[in-house]
Structure 1
Amino acid sequence: MTRSERKIDHIHHALGHERNFYNHFDDVNIVHQSLARLDFNQLSIDTKVGELNLSSPLFVNAMTGGGGEKTEQINRDLALAAKETGIGMAVGSQMSAIKNPEERRTYEVVREVNPEGIVFANVGSEADAKQANEAIDMLKANALQIHINTLQEMIMPEGDRDFTDRLKKIETIVKEIEIPVIIKEVGFGMSKETVEQLYTIGVRYVDVAGLGGTNFSRVENRRRDKQLESFNNWGIPTPLSIIEATHTAHDRGDFHIIGSGGIRNGLDGVKAMVLGSEAFGMAGNLLRVLLEDGKEALVAEICHIHQEIKIAMMLLNANTVRDFKGKPYVLYGRTKEWKEQRISSSL
């Protein structure tokens, strides 16, 4: 199977597999504040994440590209929706275009239709600095995502097996690239130990991309003759991964956390920010709306998410979305148990 065929295969399986019945965002309850003091019509969801000035804390997270005309059309429509709603957008891994220039068009279309937007380039952790710069130049990108996907590669029949030089490559890219470099998981979350190690090599942006959304263990297992099903629930759920990352970075003002993975709506995004993230990404749910109902439905969905964010700002007296961080919340169930064992016991 070619790389471009695999990209289409991933889309098919990602949309087709069932999500986990248990979503850890349901274990997070934000404490309601009755006495509103804000004017809804004056609220703005503009925010800043390190060097990135964003019109919204929501962005379209990495999904596709490199799969020929079908992925080009998907990226075109995603970029048009991002332009219309003022949100950022990350593309899928550009390694396919770096290795096959015929696939460049499937990514370049994003910048073509949204010339002033915030766009994240994306490479795998196997990329070197030259390839990272090529991905950035391809999109005139505002930031670079480096995705780490060890378990996905292990289950992927044709996946990589040698990761001995990955951390060094990440460190080199972070030192040489001038725009923000975001280290991103792909649905398995980041532990506090991982975040600490990344910080020591110079990383200042992470997208924890936790368990709860598109499950690449399940996706790749559906492409195997003999499935490794025991790993289908492997990973750290997104709320817990944010808590772990925040615990590590709590006194480091130069460290920025993005939450993604299993975020279903604007309220889940708000919960992610209450827990400690500064922005949140959505991928599979937005792709499903686009492919099933079209671009205008996707635009309407993004606007609805923005409305949910602003309502939460009213209910919590948050003048800006950055004010969500530190608002009171209560944890239940598995999430509460994890935090008590992993975080509270270490204080």
Structure 2
Amino acid sequence: MSRAQRKIDHIRHALSHERELHNHFDDIEIIHQSLARLDFNQLRIDMKVGELNLSSPLFVNAMTGGGGEETKAINRDLALVARETGIGMAVGSQMSAIKNVEERHTYAIVRQMNPEGFIFANVGSEASLDQAEQAVDMIQADALQIHVNTLQELIMPEGDRNFTQRLDNIQRIVSSIELPVIVKEVGYGMSMETIETLQQIGVRYIDVGGRGGTNFSKVENMRRERPFASFNNWGIPTPASILETAGSGLHVFASGGIRNGLDGAKALVLGAEGFGMAGSLLRVLVNDGINSLIEEVAHIHHEMKMVMMLMNAAVPHELKGQPYILLGHTKEWYDQRIQ
């Protein structure tokens, strides 16, 4: 199967498979504060995360590209939504366009549609420094994501099997590229051990990419004659993975299973500085169109600001450390791993 066809398969399977019955963000309850002291209309959601100046904690996380006109159309529409709502946007892995120049237009469309927007380039951890630089140049990116996806590769019939150089690749890119580099998982979460290793090689930004959103074990298993179904529930749920970052000093983004502005606010309360959404946004776009997705982003922002109002947080950073309790699986995880 060609790489382009695989990209289209990923989109189709990601839209069709069912999410987990339990969302681990339901294990977090923010403690209500009755005495509001702010003006809702004066709340601000723009923020600075390290070197990144963002107009919102929310961004469209990496989804697609490299699958011909179908993926180009998706990236075009997502870029238009990002432009109209002022949120950042990451493209999917650009390795396909680096290896086949005919696919570059499926990514370049994002910058064409959103010339002033904040855009993340994206490569896999197999990328060389030269390939990372090509990805950045291809879309005039403001930052670079490096995704790590070991289990997805192992389940993927045509996936990689040799990971001996991956950490060296990441270190070389982080130390050489002037733009901020975010190392991200793709749905399996990051442990404190992984985070410590990344910090030791100079990484300053991570996206924990936890379990709970698009499940790439299931996506890849749908493409196998004999699936490795025993790995369909592998990984660290997103709230637990955010908790694993405690005390690291890294700039943390959260993604994986964030459904709405309340979940996004919970991620910020736990310690993240921004949150990405992918599959849930794509579903609105595909089913209901661009205008509906623009309205959805506005609704997510409004929900997040409602939490800020209830917590007397004038800016998103002030949500960090607000009082909360943990329930269920996340509480058990915290007790055994974090406390």
Same fold (TM over 0.5): yes
CA displacement at 1:320 relative to structure 2:
0.5
- Structure-1 residue corresponding to 2:268: 273
TM-score by length of 1: 0.97
SS where residue 310 of structure 1 aligns? helix
- Structure-1 residue corresponding to 2:334: 339
One-letter code of the match for 2:294?
V
In structure 2, distance between residues paired with 1:131 and 1:41: 44
In structure 2, distance between residues paired with 1:198 and 1:218: 27
Q: Which runs of 5+ in 2 are unaligned?
A: none
- Structure-1 residue corresponding to 2:164: 164
- Structure-1 residue corresponding to 2:309: 314
Size of the alignment, in residue pairs?
Answer: 339
Match of 1:259 among 254, 257, 274: 254
In structure 2, distance between residues paired with 1:277 and 1:3: 33
Question: Over aligned residues, Cα RMSD in angstroms?
Answer: 0.5
| Structure 2 residue 156 is the aligned partner of structure 1 residue 132 | no
- Structure-2 residue corresponding to 1:56: 56
| Structure 2 residue 114 is the aligned partner of structure 1 residue 114 | yes
In structure 2, distance between residues paired with 1:321 and 1:232: 34
Q: Deviations over 1:169-205 (max 9, x none)?
A: 0000000000000000000000000000000000000
- Structure-2 residue corresponding to 1:302: 297
Match of 2:318 among 320, 323, 337: 323
One-letter code of the match for 1:139?
I
SS where residue 273 of structure 1 aligns? helix
In structure 2, distance between residues paired with 1:155 and 1:35: 51
SS where residue 175 of structure 1 aligns? helix
In structure 2, distance between residues paired with 1:246 and 1:97: 36
- Structure-2 residue corresponding to 1:293: 288
TM-score by length of 2: 1.00
In structure 1, distance between residues paired with 2:54 and 2:12: 31
- Structure-2 residue corresponding to 1:152: 152
In structure 1, distance between residues paired with 2:314 and 2:20: 34
One-letter code of the match for 2:20?
N
CA displacement at 1:319 relative to structure 2:
1.0
Q: Deviations over 1:222-275 (max 9, x none)?
A: 00000100000000000000000124x1xx3xx200000000000000000000
| Structure 2 residue 236 is the aligned partner of structure 1 residue 241 | no
Identical columns (%): 69
CA displacement at 1:75 relative to structure 2:
0.2
| Structure 2 residue 99 is the aligned partner of structure 1 residue 99 | yes
- Note if contact 1:124-1:147 (Cα within 8 Å) is conserved in structure 2: yes
In structure 2, distance between residues paired with 1:26 and 1:40: 25
Q: Deviations over 1:142-173 (max 9, x none)?
A: 00000000000000000000000000000000
- Structure-1 residue corresponding to 2:197: 197
SS where residue 246 of structure 1 aligns? coil
SS where residue 246 of structure 2 aligns? helix
CA displacement at 1:22 relative to structure 2:
1.1
- Note if contact 1:58-1:87 (Cα within 8 Å) is conserved in structure 2: yes
One-letter code of the match for 1:340?
D
In structure 1, distance between residues paired with 2:301 and 2:292: 14
In structure 2, distance between residues paired with 1:287 and 1:58: 14
One-letter code of the match for 1:317?
N
In structure 2, distance between residues paired with 1:317 and 1:28: 19
- Note if contact 1:246-1:257 (Cα within 8 Å) is conserved in structure 2: no
Following superposition, which runs of at least 4 residues in structure 1 exceed 3 angstroms of deviation? Answer: none
In structure 1, distance between residues paired with 2:44 and 2:71: 33
One-letter code of the match for 1:278?
E
Q: Which runs of 5+ in 1 are unaligned?
A: none
In structure 2, distance between residues paired with 1:213 and 1:10: 14
In structure 1, distance between residues paired with 2:93 and 2:82: 19
